[in-house]
Structure 1
Amino acid sequence: METYSMTQVETLTGINAHTLRIWERRYNFMKAERTETNIRFYTGEQLKKLLNVAILTRNGYKVSKIDAMTTEDINTLVTELQINNTTSYNDDINLLTVSMLTYNEEAFHTIFHRNILRKGILNTVTELIYPFLNQVGVLWGTNKVSPPQEHFISNLIRQKIIAATESLTLPTANAPTLVLFLLEGEDHELGLLLSNFIAKDLGWKVIYLGQKMPSENLKDIVLEIKPAYLLTMFTTPRSDNFADILTNIAQETNTKILYSGNPIFTTTFINDSNFNYLSSPANLITLLKEYSS
């Protein structure tokens, strides 16, 4: 049985711990389970229910009214909100989380395509998919969900991003070049795929090297291609001398390196002028647009 701590439920639903405790005291629709040492936890079914409750409260339903509903009533109301196209990005993030927890591919496709019709593929990727990945810990590997759930949703998103990228037009001959790579030991590729789509959508030529790129070969590639930027990501702690390797590449090739990922693992480069930290897709979009203007 999948279980979730108070902190994980707070992260995934957007309902703060104080509110959850108040609801448990005042209403009957949700009571946390407790360990033998009296620590609160929630089952997968309880999390799904709270995700839907969060959607209803954001759409004006009072908790006292929700308390009188059955789980089926709650699910029906949430479905009606989707059909009427009144859900927000925050709601759709919750719905994507439910689709992940229930391995519901049809629900994922419905949410994804509805957002493309609303906002287009770029905004769907940057304003829905990225926050969703960031929230559930898939992008930065914080393991807020089980490995099967993570792999299920990651592969669905991967398929969508690759398909969207393949539909883009080829860059012009004089387009600036961006090299994307992950060093050996970095396995979370979705952030790199998102960056690939963003750069190509903005007209950049992208050299996509993918995962587990041997660091000793990077300098030769950069000297041959002469890109405007290199871009990489860090999601896990490293024990190698990756910082020295990348610093040498940046200095010897006179190429700035863009990097993203969990700030805990990337503080090495904060004061290095050869590096530029990207905290979100919006940072990348701004930087690439400014370079091309």
Structure 2
Amino acid sequence: MITYSVAQVESLTGISAHSLRVWERRYGFIKPHRTNTNIRFYSAEQLKKLINVGILLRHNFKISKIAAMGDMEIHELVSNLLLETTDNNQEDIRTLTISMIDLDEVRFNKLFDTHANKSGLVNTFINLIYPFLQHVGVLWGINKAMPAQEHFISNLIRQKIISALDNLPSAPPKAPSLLLYLFEGEDHEIGLLLANYIAKELGWKTYYLGANVPHENVETLCQQTSPDLTFTMFITPRKERFISTIDNLLIKTNTKMLYSGNGDIVNQSKHKNKTHFLSSPSELRQYLKNYKE
């Protein structure tokens, strides 16, 4: 059974440990489990319920009323509240956290689609999905999200971008071109997919290579397609010897490399003048828009 400490529950729900103890005494509400040494902890089911309880409290529901509700009633009430009001991203992030823990595709789709219909795909990623991924990094960092849960939510997010890409028109014949890839050892493709969407939405022709691409393949594709720009991301920490890989690629491709993420190692390249760092999807969109104009 996956378990969560009181401190972790506080972080993920916004409910203080003091409140949890008071509720337990006063209402017999969500009694924690205890280790052999009497340390309190909560199960995944209890965590999900407490995330929902926190949302109801912030919508002015009294704990005395919440304590009398069944789990299904709480779930339905929270779902309806969040679909009616999508202006509080912190609450929406907690809802997405529940959908990940519970492998709940329906809840994820409802919330994502509501945001996308209101704000568009890119803004939904900037304002909701990226903060959510940072938030659940708390879970992944303490090894509390199982690999299956991580893959589940990541693939739902990927599907949203891929589906949106299919609806974009083809680039015009003389459009500028962008080659997108991740180096070997880089598996986190969501940011790259979003960059591909941003470029195609702006009318760029893109060559999307995906994750874990050997640098020799990037060289070959650059020679074959002669892109105006390339784009990559650095998520995984790199060792010093990787600098030579970047240097060789920049020399042989002779194409400016846009990059994002943890790219400190690029600054050590002898040819960093052929690169440009972008800190956010918004900066990428503006750079490509200005370049095209």
The residue number in structure 2 matching 1:192 is 192
Letter in 2 for 1:145: A
Write out per-residue CA displacement over residues 124-174 of structure 1, whole angstroms, 9 at most, x where no aligned residue: 233222332333239x99865210111111222222211110100111223
Name the CA distance, whole Å, in 2 between partners of 1:141 and 1:181.
26
Between structure 1 and structure 2, the one with the greater Rg is 2
**CA displacement 1:190-225 (0-9 Å, x = unmatched):** 221122112211222111011221112322322443
Q: Relative to structure 1, is the Cα distance of residues 116 and 3 closer, same or farther in structure 2, using a 3 angstrom cutoff?
A: same
Of stretches 217-226 and 194-203 in structure 1, the one that deviates more from structure 2 is 217-226
Q: d(CA) in 1 for partners of 2:189 and 2:215?
A: 17
Q: Say which SS state the counterpart of residue 27 (structure 1) adopts.
A: helix
Secondary structure of the corresponding residue to residue 188 of structure 1: coil
CA contact (8 A) 2:233 2:259 kept: yes
1:2: how far off? 1.6
For structure 1, the residue ranges without an aligned partner over 5 or more in a row are none
Give the CA deviation at 1:20. 2.3
Return closer, same or farther for 1:191/1:106 CA change in 2, 3 Å cut-off: same
TM superposition shift of 1:181 = 0.8
Q: Which residue of 2 is the match for residue 229 of structure 1?
A: 229
Residue 171 (structure 1) aligned with residue 171 (structure 2)? yes
1:39 shift after superposition: 6.2
Aligned to 1:20: 16
Give me the whole-angstrom Cα distance separating, in 1, the residues matched to 2:109 and 2:2.
Answer: 24
| RMSD (Å) for aligned C-alpha atoms | 3.2
Residue 178 of structure 2 contacts residue 230 of structure 2 at CA under 8 Å; is this kept in 1?
yes
| Partner Cα distance (2:207, 2:142) in 1 | 28
User: What residue is the counterpart of 2:288 in the other structure?
Assistant: 288
Paired residue secondary structure (1:233): strand
Greater than 6 Å deviation, 4+ residue runs? none
After TM superposition, the structure 1 stretch with the greater mean CA deviation from structure 2, 186-195 or 38-47, is 38-47
Q: Measure the CA separation in 2 of the matches of 1:270 and 1:255.
A: 17
Q: Which sits farther off after the overlay, 123-132 or 44-53? A: 123-132
Quote the offset at 1:229 in angstroms: 2.5
Taking structure 1 as the reference length, the TM-score comes to: 0.81
Give the drift of 1:11.
5.7
Residue 87 of structure 1, CA deviation? 5.7
Q: What's 2:217 paired with?
A: 217
Name the CA shift for 1:26/1:267 in 2 (closer, same or farther; >3 Å). Answer: farther
Q: Which amino acid aligns with 2:265?
A: T
Q: Does structure 1 retain, via aligned residues, the 8 Å contact 2:181–2:232?
A: yes
Quote the Cα distance in structure 2 between the aligned partners of 1:270 and 1:7.
38
Q: Counterpart amino acid of 1:290?
A: N
TM-score by length of 2: 0.81
Quickly say closer, same or farther: Cα 1:97–1:249, change in 2 above 3 A: same
Please say if residues 6 and 42 of structure 2, whose CA atoms lie closer than 8 Å, have aligned partners that are also in contact. yes
Stretch moving more, 140-149 or 279-288 = 140-149
CA distance in 2, matches of 1:91, 1:256: 40
In structure 1, C-alpha distance between the alignment counterparts of 2:11 and 2:267, rounded to whole Å: 27
Q: Is 1:131 the counterpart of 2:127 in the alignment?
A: no
Unaligned runs of 5+ in 2: none
Q: Which amino acid aligns with 1:148?
A: A
Preserved contact between residue 86 and residue 92 of structure 2 (Cα < 8 Å): no
What's 2:155 paired with? 155
Identity %: 48
| Matched residue SS, 2:211 | strand
